[in-house]
Chain A
């Protein structure tokens, strides 16, 4: 029953997104546009852009995820589905994990897919692209997981958007540091296994703990 409920919730969320594709496209558009602003604001010199490319890509990925986070529970909260999820006999952390998975598939994966394009725009060496993809693959689920805790705490609030950023961004700092530096090291030709392993460790920590924290937060703010 539990795995069926898990898959059913993911399927439902994906179907809902395909009906409102702007939910999936907007974060990607933000990612592209915001990344394009940096050469305009700084300078188009290739050496400068190459040196700051990992940082720009990661910060913009963070901000794009942050913008997309509100849609994690918003519609379900508005129409009462969230309460039904909390009342379900299936353990809440599992259903929360299903929603986070669907959300990552919809917002995180498109970010990962368009990252090589933006890496090319910023002149990041091709040697680093593989590491960029792998680091984003490990990092973006963590952003969704930890962000879900923040969204669960602010879902009932009227103007929770800016507050969500304040709650969640400090917890994103380690992902940013290790993710950006992994790409930096790959661009310099230095081994990256340490940073990637640390990202993987943090991902597993978030995967095991965040659903429980988010479920507890939902029970407090909604239930």
Chain B
């Protein structure tokens, strides 16, 4: 029991310290280079595996290779929204400033992932279905997710007071996260009524390891990329918010 108690104390102490923007700034500064290197390495490995090593698909030829960007981007777009909702919840309940910083910085990153998923899906759709855009269930769900992100970003920009803006966007994001499963299943149901059955989806569960492993590597690389960029943005946001405090003035003072 002693070691459990010590682990609990360490985690709790860490969370307390994380509430301090100054501590977070120092921690983020140290973590970003490691995360960036890990992202670059894993992305290199994943892209090599996906673009060079993985075999040609017997059905789609070479054009399937875009899934190594498209699928991780789509996964990240959904993960980022849930992450944003979690941070918004923490901010609303425990009034933790840094949680609002994380939610604010995650929104544009999530919107970019969603946009990337839509564009790569469109580029994939042209050789596969012959059209730049199809009202496929998942593309339509992604489009609505993009609107949800843009709404959160727009609301934050529209409210002048930063504290009010953070809490208002928090309520909006939480309302959105409750809606996302409902929207997703209703769109999927709608699409099964209107789509011809001949359109095959690529994510058959039995994917060959030579394709699956690069896909998972790219997924982890995208995760690391997300945290790298998030910490970079959060560092800037923290300095901007805390610009009146002594430690920031000391930081930016000419040496």
Contacts and interface: CB of A to CB of B under 8 A. Distances in A.
The finding on whether chains A and B are genuine partners in a shared complex, rather than unrelated, reads yes
Residue of B171, B174, B187 contacting most chain A CB atoms (<10 Å)? B171
A220 B154 contact: no
Interface string B173-202: 011101100110011011001000000000
Contacts of B155: 153-154, 163, 167
A154 B159 CA distance: 9
B164 A167 contact: no
Nearest to B185: A174
Contacts of A11: none
Interface in A163-184: 163, 166-167, 169-171, 173-174, 177-178, 181
Interface stretch (B61-69, B107-115, B143-151, B227-235): B143-151
B158 interface: yes
B138 interface: no
A132 interface: no
- Say what secondary structure dominates the interface of chain B: helix
B158 A154 contact: yes
Contacts of B22: none
A178 B183 CA distance: 11
Contacts of B147: 166, 169-170
A173 B159 contact: no
Contacts, number: 69
A217 interface: yes
Given A163-B155, A163-B158, A202-B182, A170 B189 contact: no
A71 interface: no
A12 to B, nearest CB: 26
Contact of B167 (A149, A213, A220): A220
Nearest to A166: B151
A171 B164 contact: no
Given A202-B182, A221-B168, A166 B154 contact: yes
A167 B168 contact: no
Given A153-B168, A171-B176, A220-B171, A177 B158 contact: no
Contact of B168 (A177, A202, A220): A220
Given A163-B155, A170-B147, A170-B183, A149 B175 contact: yes
Contact of A221 (B164, B183, B187, B189): B164
A220 B151 contact: no
B172 A177 contact: no
A149 B172 CA distance: 8
Contacts of A160: 158
10 contacts: A149-B175, A154-B158, A166-B154, A170-B147, A171-B176, A173-B187, A177-B190, A213-B175, A220-B171, A221-B168
A-B complex: 3 closest residue pairs judged by Cβ atoms: A174-B186, A220-B167, A170-B147
Interface of A: 146, 149, 153-154, 156-157, 160, 163, 166-167, 169-171, 173-174, 177-178, 181, 202, 209, 213, 216-217, 220-221
